[in-house]
Chain A
Amino acid sequence: AQSVTQLGSHVSVSEGALVLLRCNYSSSVPPYLFWYVQYPNQGLQLLLKYTTGATLVKGINGFEAEFKKSETSFHLTKPSAHMSDAAEYFCAVSPGNTGKLIFGQGTTLQVKP
């Protein structure tokens, strides 16, 4: 069965610092991978996704993620954090066929001034 593990339930960075949110997946077949963001009292919004092709994926709000098959990882990064980036971030894998997503436990990003 496919699964996702997010390392670190809480990450705190200073404004302007690098953001790195870690995600490792378990999959027996080439996966589709996603990062979603959830702002307080809102639904989830797609940041970026990897399906096929280029392994470095660029998303909205300056975020990007790199698919590394050898490390079974799909870490999310942003060079410079903004206060508005404070939210909960979810990594997800799609087992295929139904389009349903299996989510990680989520990482809460705190950005300090």
Chain B
Amino acid sequence: GAGVSQSPSNKVTEKGKDVELRCDPISGHTALYWYRQSLGQGLEFLIYFQGNSAPDKSGLPSDRFSAERTGGSVSTLTIQRTQQEDSAVYLCASSPRTSGMGGELFFGEGSRLTVL
């Protein structure tokens, strides 16, 4: 694929249900990031992957949030027992390099989550 692909693009769920959001990064990109974008909160960093490991999970807001990455490629962000405050757009980004080199992050179009 040419860019970062996220699915679903829109998800409506009921409070208390679990949801999974998927990110397909650009092929060959070793770094992957999840962000949350909500009104009044701007863009919040959630988690960073280098390969399959997550050395920085500092942005995950609670233990209801988890993420994994397999094969150094696809990543899944899981939100358990969703709450209304989880409603937001979840953005995924990938990058071919890290180590503070000021590399560009390539963003997907996001998954819009609405919790009723």
Residues of A that sit less than 8 Å from B by CB: 32, 34, 36, 41-46, 49, 51, 90, 94-106
Contact = CB atoms under 8 A, between A and B. Distances in A.
| B-side interface size class | 20 to 34
Nearest to A94: B102
Interface string B70-96: 000000000000000000000101010
A38 to B, nearest CB: 8
B56 interface: yes
B56 A104 contact: no
Interface in B13-50: 31, 33, 35, 42-43, 45, 48, 50
Nearest to B4: A43
A90 B43 CA distance: 9
Contacts of B103: 99
Dominant secondary structure of chain A at its interface with chain B? loop
A46 B95 CA distance: 12
A16 B106 CA distance: 30
A112 to B, nearest CB: 24
Contact of A100 (B42, B48, B109): B48
A98 B4 contact: no
Q: Which of A32, A99, A104, A105 gathers the greatest number of chain B CB atoms within 10 Å?
A: A99
B103 to A, nearest CB: 6
25 contacts: A32-B100, A32-B102, A34-B102, A34-B104, A36-B107, A43-B4, A43-B93, A43-B108, A44-B91, A44-B105, A94-B100, A97-B98, A97-B99, A97-B100, A98-B55, A99-B48, A99-B97, A99-B99, A99-B100, A101-B45, A103-B35, A103-B42, A103-B45, A105-B42, A106-B42
